[in-house]
Amino acid sequence: MARMVRKQLYIEDSQDEALAAEADRLGVTQAEIVRRAIDAWLSDTSHESRRAAWIRAQRIMEEIRAKGPVEPSPHRWERGELHERKSVR
């Protein structure tokens, strides 16, 4: 087992109740729930991935806006064309 470091923190009443209920449900200590939550938060890169994707999307939109208005396509799509299956090779 890794060396443990004692920490104290303040949480809201509703968080305390939810923490106690989850610990009871899982049959572990409240401290274990907090450790798991910290581990999950530290390993979750999805928020960074979403942020990076959003920044890229904003840059693309800015580049498109900088080019000025785009001429609409002369082709008018029909519903059937939008849902046609393409052959798989």
- pLDDT tens digits, 20-67: 999 999 999 999 999 999 888 887 777 777 788 889 999 988 888 888
**Token code pair at residue 32:** 């274990």
Distant-in-sequence, close-in-space partners of 20: CB < 8 Å, separation ≥ 6 = 30
CA distance 65 to 62: 5
Is the sign of the CA dihedral 44, 48, 49, 54 positive or negative?
A: positive
- Greater confidence, 12 or 45? 12
Domain boundaries, the chain: 13-64
